[in-house]
Structure 1
């Protein structure tokens, strides 16, 4: 209650209103402690939100001269601060400044702070800001702000927190579902990607034509890695109805999907029905044929790929080299692919280099494998070292393999455990 005093001056009475009392030390202490002890997430069990921060923008001297302003004026001033490029004020500093003004923080300021935190990717600040919003906003946040909070949490690597917010939402739109869908895809949780997709279609009642192409591609990738054949077949049926199977990205995804389940006839049908063939579709076809030991078909496809002018990427070259290493005329075809890799400048690629070493080792051309291995010393990885050891072992050069293992350990590389066992047995010693 405000304290009011009055005195009479002539016939008029002047009323002098004393400003509201400054919060006492004890009340401030209570407010601070109530925030600092709040536990929000298992990732950060001891979150503390200090009321004031040491920052050039907010000094104790400046706070003493600040008088309460209207919410509109405060919003404008904070927006000006956020737009200044030369002054880098953190999200927590902004919150502290607004608290010091004893004014409610409007939603548009929260929106700006959420965007700033999303760009920074700081999980600590994201948790503090989210907690501040749900405890101080005073009204139910609009769906647009909640969607932004979801994006912020996902961008800061807080997928569990984002899922918790998602599960508590009573209303969701496409942007809500898409954020969660992409988050699980980025985290390679493909089984959850498939579940989110199905739930989204059911919840929103979406038609096939309303689902963007990129989402179909992610779904097919999820079905491939999670081995969800039934849903992948349904997705193919939906795409056939839409007439979208001719899309190069979707065609390559379908070819990879059928290749995963060893359905090469279906994969070839998709490939032949594609309106445009590019690097993705050709690579998907070649990889599927290599997995099914159809090495001649894979090599023929690789040559045809070049004749049609499609760009050859490292994964396709690596797959064909593995096929060449298992063919009867592996030396001749392997050297041809090696020549292509040199022309395309892909010999230094780790996948290609490792496949070249393995191919020459299987072909009995150990010296050629050594030349590839020694090309770029700084670019060697553990796969290249292991491939070289296996090349020695394949050609009965057990002493060289043993010596190479020592060199490998000296270089800080960890050989495969089965290589240790093979070399021990080959060298007639159980100890190494």
Structure 2
């Protein structure tokens, strides 16, 4: 891998514009003249950053010939050569991290680190999510004496967000003398990904207020879909329907309301807030609908108790040959539990899952067991439960236990509790209480007489 520095060009989030050219080369150290500058190249075989070698070519100022740079590079090459058994991404006690190696190499050369080298190391931190290296790299930039421009500061923001250091990112954000839309978007997305939805919304509103203060009527300048999806996700979790409606109105104004990612987020938001008319409006005005869109509509109808529409949408997906996933089946099976047809619809949905090879999925299996149990088909629920022993989760165990309890199979329920204990599954406390009542006693002491393994 060869890293060649030409001039401090930089571009935001675009590696193709970096003056970084990488290719495999033999282990060598040499210098050559190019005009009035002297270039020195160092290769480090088996270096953690290289695949399989690292070459850094830097322009050196002419200096008195006391010792050529080659001497120092050879010493550094011996110091930073890692173990043969270490991975290039690993950080162990015997191998220094790649970021530290490169920074130490640049310091030993006595040369200022170019902006493009910093940009490359920041990208490495984003890829590896190495927290220690991220903090060290930022400290090195601060101590280097350079005044980083907005593109490099935005890269540092992205590095901190990628490493999960959202507080560090916010501190850097507050100190930035200038901010563009990318700066705001990075911090907002960072808070949304860290489930701090209130702060994400507050930053978004603050950004919009500042833009209005500067007489800029456009809501955002950066690519619409991904950042608006973050805000709609925040609105979903905070039940902020008012802000969601405002964003939806702006999307209709600018002509981006039919984007599938945005539409699915809007459908989820309207459904979560109980605004079924809004969800249907978004769905009906879409030109194309994929699995996510249909599943979001099914989930909303199931939440609102419109079970007949759930089954109609499921059948329509089949007619249109829309691919169904495990979440689709899980939601439809939940609706089948409420249909008073002795499990007939549920059996048809189960057969469809088997046909598509999804019957062993965790969500589908749990939904099938729950559906059969609530429809009174306990034996079918047991068969579905035993179909996939390796991937059964706690919800599936509890669904099977619920089937035994609600249909009066007291002895089977107690035996099943022993199976759960042997499998290391903790049943829900409410189900344990129901087992006690089913056994004819409200006292835990009476259940402990060789009957219930959890008391």
Task: Tell me what 1:85 maps to.
Answer: 51
Deviations 1:316-374 (A, max 9, x none): 21111011111111511100111111111111111111010000001111111111111
**Cα drift, residue 139 of structure 1:** 2.8
Partner Cα separation in structure 1 for residue 369 and residue 192 of structure 2: 33
For residues 38-187 of structure 1, what are the structure 2 equivalents within 5 Å? 77=42, 84-87=50-53, 90-134=98-142, 136-187=143-194
DSSP 3-state at the match of 1:379 = coil
Which of 424, 446, 453 pairs up with 1:412? 424
Q: Does 1:235 align with 2:247?
A: yes
User: Structure 2 vs 1, CA of residues 83 and 324 (structure 1 numbering), >3 Å: closer, same or farther?
Assistant: closer
Contact 2:49 2:98 in 1 (8 A): no
Shift of 1:84: 4.5
Larger Cα Rg: Structure 1 or Structure 2?
Answer: 1
Indicate the SS of the match to 2:104.
helix
1:140-192 Cα offsets, whole Å, 9 max, x none, are: 21111111111112222212211111121121112212221222232232222
1:75, 1:170 → 2: CA distance? 36
Q: Are 2:387 and 1:375 aligned?
A: yes
Kindly tell me the number of residue pairs found equivalent between the two proteins. 361
1:77 and 1:142 map into 2 onto residues whose CA distance is 28
Residue 396 (structure 1) shift:
1.1
Q: Does the aligned pair in 1 maintain the 2:376–2:407 contact within 8 Å?
A: yes
174-183 or 285-294: bigger deviation: 174-183
What does 1:339-378 align with in structure 2 at a 5 Å threshold?
A: 339-378=351-390
Match of 2:207 among 200, 211, 223: 200
Q: Note if contact 1:208-1:242 (Cα within 8 Å) is conserved in structure 2.
A: no
Q: Distance in 2 between matches of 1:164 and 1:236?
A: 31
Distance 1:129 1:99 in 2: 13
Write the distance in 2 (CA, Å) between the matches of 1:270 and 1:330: 34
Deviation at 1:73, TM superposition (A): 6.1
Q: Give the counterpart of 1:430 among 444, 449, 452.
A: 444
Instruction: State the distance in 1 between where 2:270 and 2:315 align.
Output: 22
Does the C-alpha gap of structure 1 residues 311 and 198 become closer, same or farther in structure 2, counting only changes over 3 Å?
Answer: same
Q: Distance in 1 between matches of 2:419 and 2:49?
A: 56
Please state whether the residue corresponding to 1:378 is helix, strand or coil: coil
Q: Is this contact kept in 1: 2:181–2:221, CA < 8 A?
A: no
The 2-side partners of 1:324 and 1:159 are apart by 43
Describe the SS at the equivalent of 1:392.
helix
Q: For residue 117 of structure 1, report the CA deviation from its aligned partner.
A: 2.2
In proportion to residue count, which structure has more helix?
A: 1
Q: For 1:377-414, what per-residue CA distance to the aligned partner results, in whole angstroms no more than 9, with x for missing partners?
A: 11111111011111111111122112212211211112
TM-score by length of 1: 0.78
Q: CA deviation at 1:75?
A: 8.1
Q: Distance in 2 between matches of 1:243 and 1:314?
A: 32
Shift of 1:195: 2.2
User: Does structure 1 retain, via aligned residues, the 8 Å contact 2:410–2:435?
Assistant: yes
Q: Deviations over 1:63-84 (max 9, x none)?
A: xxxxxxxxx8688648998984
Instruction: Show the 5 A alignment for 1:385-404.
Output: 385-404=397-416
State how far apart, in whole Å, the 2-side matches of 1:158 and 1:175 are.
Answer: 18
Q: CA RMSD in A?
A: 2.4
Task: Measure the CA separation in 2 of the matches of 1:298 and 1:313.
Answer: 15
1:300 match: 312
Point out where structure 2 has 5 or more consecutive residues left out of the alignment: 1-28, 30-36, 54-87, 89-96, 446-454
Deviation, structure 1 residue 208:
4.0
Query: Greater CA deviation, 154-163 or 334-343?
Result: 154-163
Question: Please, which runs of 5 or more residues in structure 1 have no aligned partner?
Answer: 1-61, 63-71
TM-score, L = length of structure 2: 0.74
The Cα offsets for residues 222-243 of structure 1, whole Å up to 9 and x where unpaired, read as 2111111110010111111122
Alignment CA distance shift 1:110-1:209 (3 Å): closer
**Which whole-Å CA distance do the structure 2 matches of 1:90 and 1:263 have between them?**
52
